[in-house]
Amino acid sequence: MTREEWLNAGLDALRPWFEEKAMVSIPLDTRVSVGFPGGGSARKRIGECWARRMSKDNVNEIFINPTLSDTVQMLDVLAHEAIHAIDDCVSGHKGEFKRIAKDIGLEGKMTSTKAGEKLKAELERIIKTLPTLTHGALDLSKRKKQPTRLVKLECDNCGMILRTTAKWIEQTGEPNCACGGHFYCA
């Protein structure tokens, strides 16, 4: 079973909990995939739900970050993102989102909720009903960081900052500033 199939089965298993605890239904056409969220840092954002208007198929698209490996956390994040799908990303982390989150057992700051005791127990129960998920999480710490391509120059007179390529400096030398000062590598 792929991670995507497992997450979709997990979403289906969450539906009764949402209906019982918050009296809401997760849209049946909601799609779940594994992938890096579209905004912000891949290291910080662990899940994201996209509004229907963003999808050519007019469905909510949920992405769970492939750096996650703990299955309870994966379902925890999925539950958070499912709330966004319920209101089509309208209320952000306030209003209806906050009500549903609290009703199903999410706790903490609404932008980074965690499962409370009762929800965590339910997630653990759900995991026992799903096939074993075997996958290796991506480890971003092993990714080679791309070096900065621009060189920072600073005026020795007015402090103006300029960024340019090392190749340009090699070909023309360090430039002069409009104030009459000289740029140097900062």
pLDDT for 42 equals 60
Query: pTM for the whole thing?
Result: 0.77
Cβ(59)–Cβ(65) below 8 Å: no
Between CA 123 and CA 31 the distance in angstroms is 19
H or E segment at 184? strand 183-185
pLDDT for 67 equals 92
Between CA 122 and CA 81 the distance in angstroms is 17
Tell me which long-range contacts 132-137 makes (C-beta under 8 A, separation of at least 24).
Answer: 133/1, 133/3, 133/6, 133/71, 133/74, 135/3, 135/69, 136/69, 137/66, 137/67, 137/68, 137/69
Domains and CATH numbers, the chain: 3-140 (3.30.2010), 150-185 (no CATH)
pLDDT for 45 equals 87
> Rounded to whole angstroms, what are the CA distances from 82 to 7, 19, 29, 63?
11, 12, 11, 11
Q: Is the dihedral of CA 33, 112, 114, 103 positive or negative?
A: negative
Query: What does pLDDT average to in each consecutive run of 10 residues of the chain (186 residues)?
Result: 94 98 98 83 82 96 94 97 97 97 98 97 98 87 74 87 84 84 81
Between CA 47 and CA 43 the distance in angstroms is 11
pLDDT for 43 equals 63
Between CA 4 and CA 78 the distance in angstroms is 12
Cβ(106)–Cβ(116) below 8 Å: yes
